[in-house]
Structure 1
Amino acid sequence: MNDCTVQYQILVVDIQKNFQKHIDEYENVIEITHNLLTAAQLLDIPTIMFEQYPKGLGHTDERLTSFPSNIIEKTTFSAFKTNKLAVKDDCHPPSIKVIVGLETHICVYQTAQDLLKQGHTVYILADGVCSRNSQHKSWALEQLRYDGAKVICLETFLFEALADAKHPQFKQVSKLIQ
């Protein structure tokens, strides 16, 4: 058993350009995710991006693909079922999985549920997820919270990851939420 300090892993679920015209909150999710990925780069937090059936739905929005990340194609709605090794780790307790993406009530929801069933701590960034129907997003977040996911915002996560204003990346990361 490894003795690990708190570690995070960012999971970007299906933020694909073809969804843009169908989702009102899409641009906000792009902004939040861009800031999250910038912070992840500054803080050395590993990131994995998933694409739901890119042959039919297109690829990850190009505004996010400049960040270092594995991009995994999938047809399953849960990213966890696509490639278990991609979200597995050897830390005990397991690392905290931080999820952004779309749609909240389908792929984000099923990914989070599978991770929770495996004993992972799951953070859903409420300002970094969306659905075509905002009520579907609300219901999914409510159920995920009830089932044990931590539903928080980007700012809450970033300050948790920093933990201290003396962190060497504090000024750079805090600029992302101003």
Structure 2
Amino acid sequence: MAAPSRRLHNPVIFVCDLQDKFRNAIWQFDKILLTSQKVLRAAQILQIPIVVTTQNAGKLGPIVPELQPLIKDAAVHSDKTLFSMVTPEVSSHALFSGQSKREVVIVGIESHICVTQTALDMLAQGHKVYILADGVSSCNEEEIPVALARLRAEGAVVTTSESWIYETMGDAGIAEFRDIAKLVKETSADTKTALAGLLSKI
């Protein structure tokens, strides 16, 4: 029997503009952080590269402290005025310089602006894009289902963090499965909280 292998071979996680200045403006911001923490912990276990952006950090500040320990080894940390995360610094990084396409997973804000424009740019470059519905939001909650419907129509996969984590693995025989299963169990209450909040608008 062949050795177990992962279902997704080139994933990369995009963390979009999760800055403290937005904490009180974004609907269900605390729920996005719960999902982002889980996904970033999974990235550590599965050794998935991370791309982080801030929107005009000079004025809007750094990424929230809850995520700082989980992004310290990010492959790219790009500050931007663009709405899309696909800045020149990101585009020119070795992650995207080869011929192979990536499975780009996006969490962050705002679903109808920066998340949407990032997804459209990545799709245009031929990458597969996953939007984690329990990991994105906007100031106005009504924007979210409109943005997700548009992104589905454009070819992005709208899914949940747990579904994506298990799809990335694809096989309970991989070496990291036990640690991921432990993570999923540890964060089960957070997952329910995030789903109940953010998916209520889908």
Matches within 5 A, 1:29-44: 29-44=32-47
Aligned partner (choices 8, 12, 15) of residue 9 of structure 1: 12
Unpaired stretches in structure 2, ≥5 consecutive residues: 1-7, 189-202
Where does structure 1 differ by over 3 angstroms across 4 or more consecutive aligned residues? Answer: none
How far, CA to CA, are the matches of 1:61 and 1:137 in structure 2? 22
How far, CA to CA, are the matches of 1:31 and 1:171 in structure 2? 21
Residue range with higher mean Cα deviation, 166-175 or 127-136: 166-175
Counterpart residue type for residue 102 of structure 1: I
Query: Which residue matches 2:27?
Result: 24
Aligned partner (choices 79, 82, 88) of residue 85 of structure 2: 79
Query: Which residue matches 2:98?
Result: 90
Quote how far apart the aligned CAs of 1:89 are.
Answer: 4.0
Equivalent residue pairs, number: 173
Q: Is the contact between residue 89 and residue 95 of structure 1 (CA under 8 Å) also seen in structure 2?
A: no
- Higher percent of residues as strand: 1
Q: Is the contact between residue 74 and residue 82 of structure 1 (CA under 8 Å) also seen in structure 2?
A: no
Matches within 5 A, 1:118-157: 118-157=125-164
Residue range with higher mean Cα deviation, 31-40 or 55-64: 55-64
Task: Give SS of 1:50's match.
Answer: strand
Counterpart residue type for residue 113 of structure 1: L
How far, CA to CA, are the matches of 1:89 and 1:33 in structure 2? 26
- RMSD (Å) for aligned C-alpha atoms: 1.4
Q: RCO higher in 1 or 2 (8 Å CA, sep ≥ 6)?
A: 2
How far, CA to CA, are the matches of 2:138 and 2:170 in structure 1? 31
Counterpart residue type for residue 73 of structure 1: D
How far, CA to CA, are the matches of 1:89 and 1:151 in structure 2? 26
User: So what's the TM-score if we normalise by structure 2?
Assistant: 0.81
Quote how far apart the aligned CAs of 1:154 are.
Answer: 0.3
Identical pairs, percent: 36
How far, CA to CA, are the matches of 1:76 and 1:123 in structure 2? 21
